[in-house]
Amino acid sequence: MIRFESVSKVYDDGTRAVDGLSFDVPAGSLLALVGPSGCGKTTSLRMINRLIDATSGTIALDDIDVLSTDRVALRRKIGYVIQHAGLFPHRTVVDNVAALPRLLGGDRKATRTRALELLELVGLDERFAHRYPWQLSGGQQQRVGVARALATDPPYLLMDEPFSAVDPIVRAQLQDEFLRLQAEIGKTIVMVTHDIDEALKLGDRVAVLRTGGVLAQLGTPLELLTAPVDDFVADFIGGARGYRALGFAGLAGDAALAPESPIRMGETATEGWTIVVDDAGRPRGWVEGGTATADALLTTARFLPRTASLRDLLDGALAAPAGRVGVVDERGVLVGSLTAAAVLSAERAA
């Protein structure tokens, strides 16, 4: 766990960059620090690995004050990923990843083997290992940066705008990959970003800072989206908040589901849109009145699991010719349907 207790930083010129910051990052979770440029995000991050020392307050890793930990020992425990990856330009990719473990006395062969494994973990196969950083795309360099930060298998990871320097499509891809990676490695992470969408997507919890390094609000993405504490947070999160919040919530139960009367292939629907199921009760498509023949069957509408996000359910309902989306259980068996209105008024679970 990472704990900030009333941490402040005043630079020599009198700039108050961080002011009385307190929060916890539970083990294995990711806290996204988000806020406008100059609000003290980078300063906060660099006080954790002591690239900057706090003016007052305490930062503790697993209840041990970072000030009482030797800087080298500290950085072995804390991986650090920065924008533009910050790779050594004159070293190959594999040497970049192996550099720190080597410096710490690791055996040459073992550190290289491990570096290759890490590169594979972040989606770079051996072809890339012997290139130089300039021979990689921005997104690939950023992946090497992540692999390098993981090289000493540190329990903590600090990431400062890790995906900001790449274009939006690559960024979304890196974010998705990173979510998968974190599900596997379960590091304790503080990630800094100015991008609220990135914070909401990657953060288990999100801390919104305002200028002057003051905490405006800390909460889960759903809490921030549904209950911003003030106008600053609401403005920062921006428009379409209600719609975006749906992406972070699911159905609280089956109460909102309307019952369906499905038919089998060859049977005849009385009127209106009717779901056609197989012998196990799994949906095959819809028919609009008439007999369920292969020709009449509409198979393009999606059926969604009851665990889908409300946003996906809403999209499903809006896109469906029938005006409602069919919902299935974990075995794929039809359990009911939802109209768009039913999705919007459904009881929510985070």
Shortest distance (Å) from residue 35 CB to Mg ion? 10
96 touching Mg ion, by CB under 5 A: no
Q: Which is nearer to ligand ADP, 30 or 342 (CB)?
A: 30
Q: Which is nearer to ligand ADP, 17 or 124 (CB)?
A: 17
Query: Which secondary structure element, helix H or strand E, spans residue 76, and what is its range?
Result: helix 71-77
Q: What does 96 bind: ligand ADP, Mg ion, none (CB cut-off 5 to 8 Å by kind)?
A: none
Q: Which is nearer to ligand ADP, 14 or 89 (CB)?
A: 14
Q: What does 75 bind: Mg ion, ligand ADP, none (CB cut-off 5 to 8 Å by kind)?
A: none
42 touching Mg ion, by CB under 5 A: yes
Rg (CA), the chain: 25
Q: Which is nearer to ligand ADP, 38 or 106 (CB)?
A: 38
Match 């020992």 to its residue by tokens.
Answer: 73
The answer to whether 50 touches 71, Cβ cutoff 8 Å, is: yes
Shortest distance (Å) from residue 41 CB to Mg ion? 5
Q: What does 43 bind: Mg ion, ligand ADP, none (CB cut-off 5 to 8 Å by kind)?
A: ligand ADP
Shortest distance (Å) from residue 41 CB to ligand ADP? 3
The site that binds Mg ion (CB under 5 A) totals a number of residues, namely 1
Query: Which secondary structure element, helix H or strand E, spans residue 335, and what is its range?
Result: strand 334-339
Q: What does 17 bind: ligand ADP, Mg ion, none (CB cut-off 5 to 8 Å by kind)?
A: ligand ADP
3-state helix, strand, coil split of the chain in percent (to 5) is 35, 30, 35
Shortest distance (Å) from residue 208 CB to ligand ADP? 12
Pairing of strands 324-328, 334-339: antiparallel
For residues 97 and 88, what is the distance between their CA atoms, to the nearest angstrom? Answer: 10
Shortest distance (Å) from residue 163 CB to Mg ion? 14
Q: Which stretch binds Mg ion (CB under 5 A): 39-47, 68-76, 216-224, 340-348?
A: 39-47
For CA atoms 187, 170, 94, 104, the dihedral sign is: negative
26 is written with which tokens? Answer: 């539970």
For residues 26 and 4, what is the distance between their CA atoms, to the nearest angstrom? Answer: 12
Amino acid at 308: A
The answer to whether 128 touches 118, Cβ cutoff 8 Å, is: no
How many other β-carbons are positioned within 10 Å of the β-carbon of residue 162? 27
Pairing of strands 283-291, 56-61: unpaired
For residues 280 and 233, what is the distance between their CA atoms, to the nearest angstrom? Answer: 48
**What residues make contact with ligand ADP under the rule CB under 6 A?**
11, 13, 15, 17, 37-43
Q: Which is nearer to ligand ADP, 10 or 121 (CB)?
A: 10
44 touching Mg ion, by CB under 5 A: no
How many other β-carbons are positioned within 10 Å of the β-carbon of residue 29? 18
Q: Which is nearer to Mg ion, 211 or 226 (CB)?
A: 211
DSSP 283: E
For residues 200 and 224, what is the distance between their CA atoms, to the nearest angstrom? Answer: 9
Q: Which is nearer to ligand ADP, 209 or 276 (CB)?
A: 209
Shortest distance (Å) from residue 167 CB to Mg ion? 20
Shortest distance (Å) from residue 18 CB to ligand ADP? 7
The answer to whether 48 touches 56, Cβ cutoff 8 Å, is: no
The answer to whether 112 touches 100, Cβ cutoff 8 Å, is: no
Q: Which is nearer to ligand ADP, 34 or 245 (CB)?
A: 34
Shortest distance (Å) from residue 191 CB to ligand ADP? 12
Q: Which is nearer to ligand ADP, 80 or 273 (CB)?
A: 80
The answer to whether 322 touches 302, Cβ cutoff 8 Å, is: no
Shortest distance (Å) from residue 169 CB to ligand ADP? 25
Task: Give, as ranges, the residues between 238 and 257 that touch Mg ion (CB under 5 A).
Answer: none
Binding site for Mg ion (CB under 5 A): 42
